[in-house]
């Protein structure tokens, strides 16, 4: 079946502009994660959605970052007033969310470049 | 919070040799340790995982060992092949809590 998809695959923007990144999780997966991966570094947790529960936003680096999820489907990550240090690959992952620690399936990521 | 450190950052081996990547974690409550492989331009993919109730797990050429006392775990790849070349990430999590802490990654290069 279809895996996690993300769009756009690449985004180049100017400093100060807002950007919106999209994630389509695997159908039936109730858990959804966003991570940031700076060049040559590991994955930095941003936010986690589980079903209808309040999201875990503890990883968002500033109030310029926000994310929404529509039910148990699409999620969007919004970065307002982008800064050059926001340049990174933004990865989305989904999992069954059935309890325990389910396998996360990652999308290919969106490469964001802030000029 | 949890802190995961991963070494080495780069590793180059000859095809057929073994490769070992090591990670340490700081939170003794962590009890789930997955390993991911990330190929160029793709998202990470789970290759093996281990829970704290076992010390070793093997899947063909890949094995993971865990030392809870020392708080470190390792990935072992035997008989390496060029297609094993990728970036490998370790992670630590608390089972039933879906927040993962990732290491900084190891770039493995297998020379033919």
Bridge-based pairing state of the strands A19-24 and A75-79? antiparallel
pLDDT in tens, B32-80: 999 999 998 888 999 999 988 889 999 999 999 999 999 999 999 999 9
- Mutant choice from A4, A24, A42 vs B, greatest count of B C-beta within 10 A: A42
Q: Could you report how far apart the first and last alpha carbons of chain B are, in Å?
A: 41
Question: What is the Cα–Cα distance from A77 to A79, expressed in whole angstroms?
Answer: 7
Are B86 and B38 in contact, with CB atoms under 8 Å apart? yes
Per-residue pLDDT averaged across A56-74, rounded?
91
A107/B44 CB distance under 8 A: no
Please provide the average confidence, as pLDDT, over all residues in chain A.
Answer: 92
pLDDT attached to residue A97: 77
pLDDT at B23 over 60: yes
Q: Does A101 touch chain B (CB under 8 A)?
A: yes
pLDDT at A101 over 80: no
Return the residue of B nearest to A31 by Cα. B98
pLDDT in tens, A77-91: 999 999 999 999 999
Whole-number Cα distances in Å, A42 to A72, B5, B6, B79: 27, 10, 10, 26
Chain A neighbors of B2, CB-CB under 8 A? none
Question: What is the Cα–Cα distance from A64 to B58, expressed in whole angstroms?
Answer: 43
Mark which residues 61-90 of A lie under 8 Å from B by CB. Answer: none
> Per residue, what are the HEC states of A54-89?
CCECCCCCCCCEEEEECCCCCEEEEECCCCHHHCEE
**B47-B50-B54 Cα angle (round to 5):** 150
pLDDT in tens, A34-58: 999 998 888 999 999 988 888 989 8
B105/A104 CB distance under 8 A: no
pLDDT attached to residue B9: 95
pLDDT attached to residue A51: 85
pLDDT at A21 over 60: yes
pLDDT attached to residue B99: 78
Per-residue pLDDT averaged across A9-15, rounded?
97
Please provide the average confidence, as pLDDT, over all residues in chain B.
Answer: 93
Whole-number Cα distances in Å, B66 to A102, B79, B107: 19, 21, 21
């Amino acid at each position: 079946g279809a895996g996690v998809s993300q769009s756009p695959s690449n985004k180049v923007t100017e400093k100060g502009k807002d950007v919106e990144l999209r994630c389509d999780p695997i159908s039936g997966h109730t858990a959804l994660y966003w991570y940031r991966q700076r060049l040559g570094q590991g994955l930095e947790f941003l936010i986690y959605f589980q079903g209808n529960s309040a999201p875990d936003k503890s990883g968002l680096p500033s109030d310029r970052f926000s994310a929404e999820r529509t039910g148990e489907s699409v999620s969007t990550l919004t970065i307002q007033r982008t800064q050059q240090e926001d340049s990174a690959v933004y990865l989305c992952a989904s999992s069954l969310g059935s309890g325990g620690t389910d396998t996360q399936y990652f999308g290919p990521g969106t490469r964001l470049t802030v000029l | 919070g949890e802190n995961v450190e991963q070494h080495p950052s780069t590793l180059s081996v000859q095809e057929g040799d073994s490769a070992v990547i090591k990670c340490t974690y700081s939170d003794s409550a962590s009890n789930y340790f997955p390993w991911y492989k990330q190929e160029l331009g793709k998202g990470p993919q789970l290759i093996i995982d281990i829970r704290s109730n076992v010390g070793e797990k093997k899947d063909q050429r890949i094995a993971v060992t865990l030392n809870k006392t020392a708080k470190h775990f390792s990935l072992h790849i035997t008989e390496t092949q060029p297609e094993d070349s990728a970036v490998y990430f370790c992670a630590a999590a608390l089972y039933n809590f879906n927040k993962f802490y990732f290491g900084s990654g190891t770039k493995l290069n297998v020379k033919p």
